Structure 1
Amino acid sequence: MKIHLVNPAFPDTFWGFRHVREYGYRYAMANLALPTVAALTPREHDVTIRDENVAPLDFDVAADLIGITGFNIQSARMFEIAAEFRRRGKTVVMGGPYASLCPEDCAPHADHLIVGEAERTWPRFLADFAAGRAERRYVETEKVDLALSPTPRWDLLDFKHYGRIPVQTTRGCPFDCEFCDVIVYLGRKVRQKSPDRIAAELEAVYPHVHAAGRDSIFFADDNFIGSKAHARAVCRRLIELNRGFPRPLRFSTQVTINLAQDKELLELMAEAGFHSVFIGIETPKTENLLEVHKVQNTRRDLIADIKMIQSYGIFVWAGMIVGFDHDGPEAFREQLDFINESDIPISMTGMLNAPANTPLWHRLKKEGRLLEGYQYRDQADTNIVPKLMGKEELRAGYVRLMNDLYSYENYGKRLCGTLAAIRRPPTKRRKKFSAQHAAYNLQRLWTLLRYYLLTGSRERRRYFFRVLRQIAKTNPAYLKEALWHLALHKHFYRYSRILAERLDLDPNHAPWAMQEGLARAKGA
């Protein structure tokens, strides 16, 4: 049987880094689900994968079965793709996060559904399908043992298309954030792969990563430090593993802010090669954090904790949200001040949304504050009715906040602030020369220099040289990481302006401080 697995295109978002694809890849990160599902497929079947984010779909592909995955923001495209394949007589099965969280939405668009984790249900579905007795829906009611999850079929991906490759060490998160769909889909109990199993997966993926001139692995865990004891054991194994590679791997992942409390783990992560972590900080307002049950962020000084993590040479990227029930118009300035003061260079700031079937979704539905028929458009949108602002006021304030965050001045100050906070010298690792890596890095460097120097924008050139001087003064040992953050700025700068153009706002509006000064002057 021929099986064709499809990852639909994402809309343009902060996460996709679509506006820096000239740096040598077509999409920021590969999809982990489809190579894993391919590995779950018995070898007598022929499996192919198509990621629409890097190549157009072939609706005439010779296949007996089409498998489609996707997150909620991909749902509209999932349904379009399914309709086109079914119109051509293909059988479609849907699975993944959206099909698991919203099976009733997906059911009319697919012939079969895989609801929940697929390690046990996918092989059973294939056996039934081949025998002509497949059911409409296969539901996993338990959380699977990760020992059942195979090493993904990396041979089915072209690694040159991606900036980072995902590997998973755990599933689940022990916390109880009201807006998070992870705990609904994957549970609060942290399930783990053994350090040796993780090392084996990295050894399997390494030849593909190395051949493509890449070195960046993203641990796609819901919370890498959900079990700190396990995280320490994994880091020790990574340190040992990296010593044996011709060129060591570099790692990034998602953690919670309580990482700052564990200096042993911070040192192990730095030694293992972690260069950045994503942390869901959400908001500086304690009332908001308590409202959505994110109590772990209320127990310490957030800025001090961020600085502690940065001091180990680990760049902090943050998830921030505006539109909580205690957020009025002042929230935008509060967020800007907090992010600037904490020197977080990249803040994935968004408007509060209520993912389907989360506790937040159920609460707002009960309160009559969910928008009916909502369809994701871009990051300046939400499916909720805000409490202390109108929706358009929230959207406009959010877009202005994003343009302030990614102004040349603010971004440059935060990047240099991170470098100034670093106290740990980078771990020195021997690297064997690689023509693929040299070509990839030179191409990225040339693209960076061309963007900042061969431009008609004097502001952009001045910003580039100003930041370079600051890097040389503060921490030249981290030059490579700093240059990559300079490269990424183009994406955030451009996307913020696209959002402003869609709302017919001036992206070069007066900064918040200037606005307040004008208001005070008028009041006087």
Structure 2
Amino acid sequence: MKALLLYPQFPQSFWSYDRFMEIAGLKAVIPPLGIITVAALLPKEWEIRFYDRNVNVETKADWEWCDLVILSAMLVQKPDFHHLIQKAVNLGKKVAVGGPYPTSVPQDALNSGADYLILDEGEMTVPQFLEALAQGKEQGIFRSMEKPDVTQSPMPRFDLLQRDAYLMMAIQFSRGCPFNCEFCDIISLYGRKSRTKEPCQALAELQNLYELGWRGSLFIVDDNFIGNQRNVKRFLKELIPWMKQHNYPFTFITEASVNLAEDDEMLHLMNEAGFYAVFLGIETPDRDSLKVTQKLQNTRNPLIEACRKINEAGMLIYAGFILGFDGERSGAGKRIQAFVEQTNIPQPMLGILQALPNTALWNRLQKEERLIQGLGATEVGDQNTLMNFVPTRPIAEIAKEYVEGFWTLYEPTKYLRRCFQQCLSISSRADRKQTMQFSPGKGLGLIAQLIWHQGIRRPEIREQFWRQLWTILRRKPQVLNMYLGLCAAGEHFWEYRALARERITEQLGYDPLKVSVKAESEPMLVRS
């Protein structure tokens, strides 16, 4: 079998870092771990060609060569995903698809013409697919209610990647999350039991990347890294001596729940292992909204104090925030802005709540007949979308708070000030770089571009850029790479805030920053 494995393109989004990638001479933030793990599950005798279309695209000769096209996609990749299915069908090629998007909404892939749907987790369903192929079956849907033992997962095919095109490499240690947040689709996709690999497995993957020549940042892509605290600590206790033995070739970033701040031992171990950043799902500082959405772990302790503790443990904080929870009071956007300014979180990801298929939120709203067809992230797949359900307060008010919040948070002088203050507040180690790492060639190019764009070209931030840079060099040079990376990312966000405003304006029919919202007109707006 000649299999062409393709990973669809991402549209411009919060996490695409388009301008940053251009400035840094890179193509994509992280590699697609799922599809290169699927590659490792395929028979050894198969011929495989792989393309991450965010890095480089396949050729006409690749399409002519293959017998089978295999795609994996998330919802945000929807347009290119369907384009590739339809292209394969038109060329008479068999198409197999998998990943979070087709698993959540399988009918979409069937409607586009996919022959085989390899859903849920590949360790369980790829063997079903291979058996169907061996039996000569022309189509099939392969599912498994059983969750795989990830200690049996194969090592991803890192060798297939064009590694120098990425900002970071990636590994996965666990799947699933023990919490029960109403809006989250992780628990519907991967369950509430956090299943982990063995420490030796994860270290073998790191060793493979090391031997392939990777040096730099590495994203542990678990949806909640600390979901199984016992096993994570076992891993960290073996990772620390490995890192020392290899002279700290990597630095790590991951995602975790806010209760990370309650575990001093975990914070210490992550610091020792070389973790420089963590993404937190903060969602909102409004306790009532956190209770409504069942994110109770965020209500146990003050969130500002939790952020301070994580900074003191040497980690930069990235965080997600959401507008539009049921019962949310007016001014939620302002309260999020105030929280971000207090904590100096440089890159807050602000979004409008979406009901994702098969989540508890989706099921509840469906029963309440509040879902709106043809609207929301399930249709267009990006973060700048009006909610796909009837909210409890005017949708125009939520849209205004979203655009106003995003526009204000990413005002250049405010953004650079938060980057500066966050870097100063991190307790960093003087004995080694516990920060974002770039290869020497990429790093020098990034600095040159940054000096041109922010130190020379932009008069509104020129003085601030040089003043803050000088202070970082004088007071905390060990975080210089982190600070420069955050500054450079600003070039992406200053473009993206305009795009977010434009997208919401197009959906509303007016610019929410220029029109005062009248709540009484809202029902007509929502229904239309």
TM above 0.5, one fold? Answer: yes
| Alignment partner, residue 255 of structure 1 | 256
Q: What code does the residue aligned with 1:393 have?
A: E
**Distance across 2 between alignment mates of 1:382 and 1:501:** 13
| Alignment partner, residue 21 of structure 1 | 21
Does the alignment pair 1:482 with 2:483?
A: yes
**Distance across 2 between alignment mates of 1:343 and 1:470:** 17
Q: 3-state SS of the aligned residue for 1:218?
A: strand
**Distance across 1 between alignment mates of 2:512 and 2:261:** 35
| Alignment partner, residue 62 of structure 1 | 65
| Alignment partner, residue 326 of structure 1 | 327
Flag the 1:471–1:507 CA change in 2: closer, same or farther, 3 A. farther
**Distance across 2 between alignment mates of 1:72 and 1:376:** 8
Q: What code does the residue aligned with 1:113 have?
A: L
Contact 2:282 2:321 in 1 (8 A): yes
Q: Which runs of 5+ in 1 are unaligned?
A: 511-524
Q: Within 5 Å, which residues of 2 pair with 1:71-86?
A: 71-86=74-89
Flag the 1:365–1:459 CA change in 2: closer, same or farther, 3 A. same
| Alignment partner, residue 460 of structure 1 | 461
Q: Within 5 Å, which residues of 2 pair with 1:381-392?
A: 381-392=385-396
Offset, 1:444: 1.9
CA deviation string 1:89-109 (max 9, x = no partner): 011111111111122332222
Q: What code does the residue aligned with 1:453 have?
A: G
CA deviation string 1:364-398 (max 9, x = no partner): 12222222023226422134235344333322321
Offset, 1:417: 2.5
**Distance across 2 between alignment mates of 1:470 and 1:389:** 45
**Distance across 2 between alignment mates of 1:507 and 1:351:** 14
CA deviation string 1:32-67 (max 9, x = no partner): 011100000111101111112122343634111111
| Alignment partner, residue 521 of structure 1 | none
Flag the 1:253–1:32 CA change in 2: closer, same or farther, 3 A. same
| Alignment partner, residue 302 of structure 1 | 303
Q: Within 5 Å, which residues of 2 pair with 1:111-190?
A: 111-133=115-137, 135-190=139-194
Flag the 1:405–1:61 CA change in 2: closer, same or farther, 3 A. farther
Q: Within 5 Å, which residues of 2 pair with 1:32-51?
A: 32-51=33-52
**Distance across 2 between alignment mates of 1:328 and 1:144:** 42
**Distance across 2 between alignment mates of 1:245 and 1:106:** 44
Does the alignment pair 1:494 with 2:495?
A: yes
CA deviation string 1:3-29 (max 9, x = no partner): 111111111111111121120211111
| Alignment partner, residue 110 of structure 2 | 107
Q: 3-state SS of the aligned residue for 1:458?
A: coil
Q: 3-state SS of the aligned residue for 2:122?
A: coil
| Alignment partner, residue 2 of structure 1 | 2
Offset, 1:466: 3.3
CA deviation string 1:420-468 (max 9, x = no partner): 32335344279xxx9x93222212222222221341x201312312322
**Distance across 2 between alignment mates of 1:61 and 1:468:** 53
Contact 2:320 2:350 in 1 (8 A): yes
Does the alignment pair 1:98 with 2:101?
A: yes
Flag the 1:264–1:414 CA change in 2: closer, same or farther, 3 A. same
Tell me which moved more, 150-159 or 476-485: 476-485
Contact 2:115 2:140 in 1 (8 A): yes
Offset, 1:506: 7.8
**Distance across 1 between alignment mates of 2:104 and 2:475:** 47
Contact 1:145 1:191 in 2 (8 A): yes
- Give the alignment partner of residue 380 of structure 2, picking from 368, 373, 376: 376
Percent identity, aligned pairs only, is: 35
Q: What code does the residue aligned with 1:371 have?
A: I
Q: What code does the residue aligned with 2:69 have?
A: I
| Alignment partner, residue 513 of structure 1 | none
Contact 2:195 2:228 in 1 (8 A): no
Contact 2:403 2:513 in 1 (8 A): no
CA deviation string 1:263-293 (max 9, x = no partner): 1211111111101000100000111111111
CA deviation string 1:324-367 (max 9, x = no partner): 12334411111100111111111111110111111111111222
Offset, 1:134: 5.3
**Distance across 1 between alignment mates of 2:488 and 2:428:** 24
| Alignment partner, residue 516 of structure 1 | none
Flag the 1:501–1:241 CA change in 2: closer, same or farther, 3 A. same
**Distance across 1 between alignment mates of 2:32 and 2:3:** 17
**Distance across 2 between alignment mates of 1:410 and 1:470:** 17
Q: What code does the residue aligned with 1:242 have?
A: M
Q: Which runs of 5+ in 2 are unaligned?
A: 516-528
**Distance across 1 between alignment mates of 2:199 and 2:64:** 39
**Distance across 2 between alignment mates of 1:73 and 1:197:** 30
Q: 3-state SS of the aligned residue for 1:483?
A: helix
**Distance across 1 between alignment mates of 2:30 and 2:213:** 12
Q: Within 5 Å, which residues of 2 pair with 1:338-377?
A: 338-374=339-375, 375-376=379-380
Does the alignment pair 1:205 with 2:190?
A: no
